[in-house]
């Protein structure tokens, strides 16, 4: 979400006449979007700003934006008294105006709720994919999570605005959208017309010229038959579900206020796999939540082993101020959190490798999304399960769906070669490129 917002803000600033620079010493304005999900992320943004406070002497405007700004508001000035701007994620659209009015003599603080917290998308040339925030905030209050405090109450974006934005972007060349929300399944719950997330996905799928639709993140409690059916029936929708489990122990899930049981989670996974046997399922796991015993941890390991996720994001519990869990004793030592983290990581690496290896020799339909940053002779795309695929081809393939035969995999990416007869059918040309 922060990434999507910073991209939108960057484009908005460029439209307002600002220029981007990679050299901080040439900048007139330095703004950092801060994440507060874990202490480590927060430390990173605070130390970035502290290490650049000397720029202020040269008249540079310094700003802290995003979740960290909203969470602490003006209190952050005790640590960062040199800031000119403190602006939460619900007010990013006013940054161009704030910068125009910023004299450097007074501190501008914009935090809290906003009726229209969404920043409009401005397409750039050659963009194939686009992230589309559809909700802001979250009402779930999982006991460890700072998001409801940092981003505020759930706010669904108007469907007309979403559809208009996607249609307009598709006209400019966008082929794939990822709908973003802390819990996408809650889309529409704050509106009154009964229109829900599955309805939105179906309506977006009707847009001509759009080839792929993905979404993040699904909450196990709210992922039901309707959205799974929609995924199964719409060929454009990625067969991928990111559905955080957090823990394999019901005792810990209850303490986390996650509102589902392990059994319910497994049922959702089973239903998804029955409807879409090829579905890729990824998840988040947290180790070392207050009260997590070795036995609770073992239960998580069992579910990881049994479920065989395509990929897992594993986190060590980090106490966050103002959350319910902050009042609980952080009773797992750092080394023990590291040990548990490593056990699950090793277990998952093996599973992910096995799943990726099973693609070898198979052919995938891949939407060619971008040129690889690491190797400009390579194109990176995604197959229908949302798994990244790298292959060699020239850039006239970008935005097209092509057949790629998988040869192997590296660092979570499938590597393959493009099927030439498919290119000929599409009237495209493949030029062998050689590395100089």
Which residue in 91, 175, 219, 240 binds ligand SF4 (CB under 6 A)? 219
| CA terminus-to-terminus distance, the chain | 38
Q: % helix / strand / coil in the chain, to the nearest 5? A: 40, 20, 40
- Whose Cβ is closer to ligand 5AD: residue 67's or residue 286's? 286
Size of the site for ligand 5AD (CB under 6 A): 12
284 binds, among ligand SF4, ligand 5AD, none (CB under 5 to 8 A by kind): ligand 5AD
Cα-based distances in Å from 336 to 286, 300, 346: 13, 15, 15
Binding mask 219-258 for ligand 5AD (x = CB under 6 A): -------------------------x-x------------
Binding mask 27-56 for ligand 5AD (x = CB under 6 A): ----------xx------------------
Decide if residue 154 touches ligand SF4 (CB under 6 A).
Answer: no
- Residue 127 DSSP class: -
Which residue in 147, 201, 351, 402 binds ligand SF4 (CB under 6 A)? 147
The beta strand positions in 261-349, using DSSP E, are: 280-287, 311-316
Least Cα distance to 257 among 139, 135, 136 occurs for 139
315 binds, among ligand SF4, ligand 5AD, none (CB under 5 to 8 A by kind): ligand 5AD
- Helices 262-275/294-307 angle, 10° precision: 10
- Whose Cβ is closer to ligand SF4: residue 323's or residue 383's? 323
DSSP lists the bridge partners of residue 280 as 240
Decide if residue 3 touches ligand SF4 (CB under 6 A).
Answer: no
Cβ 176 to ligand 5AD shortest distance, Å: 22
Which residue in 87, 130, 142, 204 binds ligand SF4 (CB under 6 A)? 142
Which residue in 66, 88, 117, 148 binds ligand SF4 (CB under 6 A)? 148
60: left (phi over 0), alpha (psi -120 to 50) or beta: beta
- 88 CB-contact burial (10 Å; exposed 0-12 / middle 13-18 / buried 19+): buried
317 binds, among ligand 5AD, ligand SF4, none (CB under 5 to 8 A by kind): ligand 5AD
**Side-chain-side CA neighbours of residue 102 (13 Å):** 25
Decide if residue 415 touches ligand SF4 (CB under 6 A).
Answer: no
Decide if residue 241 touches ligand SF4 (CB under 6 A).
Answer: no
Decide if residue 143 touches ligand SF4 (CB under 6 A).
Answer: no
Which residue in 284, 305, 330, 336 binds ligand 5AD (CB under 6 A)? 284
Q: Tell me if residue 33 falls in helix, strand or coil.
A: strand
- Whose Cβ is closer to ligand 5AD: residue 72's or residue 391's? 72
- CA 1 to chain CA centroid, nearest Å: 5
Least Cα distance to 367 among 167, 177, 162 occurs for 177
Non-local CB neighbours of 52 within 8 Å, separated by 6+ positions: 24, 30, 62
**CA-derived radius of gyration, the chain:** 23
140 binds, among ligand 5AD, ligand SF4, none (CB under 5 to 8 A by kind): ligand SF4
Contact stretch for ligand SF4 (CB under 6 A) within 41-49, 111-119, 139-147, 235-243? 139-147
Which residue in 46, 149, 286, 366 binds ligand 5AD (CB under 6 A)? 286
- Whose Cβ is closer to ligand 5AD: residue 63's or residue 386's? 386
Phi, then psi, of 136 in degrees rounded to 5: -125, 150
Distance CA 239, CA 375 (A): 28
- Whose Cβ is closer to ligand 5AD: residue 284's or residue 338's? 284
Cβ atoms 147, 63 nearer than 8 A: no
- Whose Cβ is closer to ligand SF4: residue 114's or residue 323's? 323
Decide if residue 38 touches ligand SF4 (CB under 6 A).
Answer: no
Place of tokens 């303490």: 255
Interface residues with ligand SF4 (CB under 6 A) are 138, 140-142, 145, 147-148, 182-183, 219
> Which residues are near ligand 5AD by CB under 6 A?
37-38, 144-145, 244, 246, 284, 286, 315, 317-318, 320
């Amino acid at each position: 979400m922060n990434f999507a917002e910073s991209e939108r803000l960057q484009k908005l600033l460029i439209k307002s006449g600002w220029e981007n620079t990679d050299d901080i010493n040439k900048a007139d304005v330095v703004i950092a979007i801060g994440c507060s999900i874990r202490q480590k992320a927060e430390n990173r943004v605070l130390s970035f700003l502290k290490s650049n406070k000397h720029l202020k002497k040269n008249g540079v405007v310094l700003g802290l934006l995003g979740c960290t700004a909203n969470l602490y508001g003006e209190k952050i000035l005790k640590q960062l008294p040199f800031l000119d701007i403190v602006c939460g994620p619900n007010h990013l659209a006013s940054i161009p105006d704030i910068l125009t009015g910023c004299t450097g003599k007074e501190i501008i603080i914009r935090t809290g709720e906003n009726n229209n917290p969404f920043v409009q998308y401005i397409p750039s040339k050659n963009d194939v994919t686009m992230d589309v925030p559809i909700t802001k905030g979250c009402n779930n209050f999982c006991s460890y999570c700072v998001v409801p405090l940092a981003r505020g109450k759930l706010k669904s974006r108007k469907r007309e605005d979403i559809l208009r934005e996607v249609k307009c972007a598709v006209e400019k060349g966008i082929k794939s959208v990822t709908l973003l929300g802390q819990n996408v399944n809650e889309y529409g719950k704050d509106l009154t017309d009964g229109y829900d997330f599955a309805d939105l996905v179906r309506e977006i799928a009707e847009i001509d010229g759009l080839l792929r639709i993905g979404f993040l993140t699904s909450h196990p409690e709210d992922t039901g038959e309707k959205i799974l059916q929609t995924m199964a029936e719409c060929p454009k929708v990625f067969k991928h579900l990111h559905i955080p489990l957090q823990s394999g122990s019901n005792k810990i899930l209850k303490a986390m206020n996650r509102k589902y049981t392990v059994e319910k989670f497994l049922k959702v996974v089973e239903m998804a796999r029955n409807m879409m046997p090829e579905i890729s399922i990824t998840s988040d796991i947290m180790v070392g939540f207050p009260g997590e015993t070795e036995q609770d941890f073992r239960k998580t390991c069992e579910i990881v082993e049994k479920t065989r996720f395509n990929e897992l994001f594993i986190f060590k519990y980090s106490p966050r101020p103002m959350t319910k869990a902050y009042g609980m004793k952080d009773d797992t030592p750092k080394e023990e959190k590291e040990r548990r983290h490593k056990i699950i990581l090793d277990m998952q690496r093996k599973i992910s490798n096995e799943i990726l290896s099973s693609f070898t020799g198979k052919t995938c339909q891949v939407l060619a999304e971008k040129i690889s940053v690491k190797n400009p002779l390579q194109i990176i795309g995604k197959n229908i399960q949302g798994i990244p695929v790298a292959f060699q081809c020239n850039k006239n393939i970008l935005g097209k769906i092509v057949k790629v035969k998988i040869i192997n995999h590296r660092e979570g990416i499938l590597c393959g070669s493009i099927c030439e007869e498919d290119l000929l059918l599409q009237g495209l040309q493949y030029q062998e490129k050689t590395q100089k």
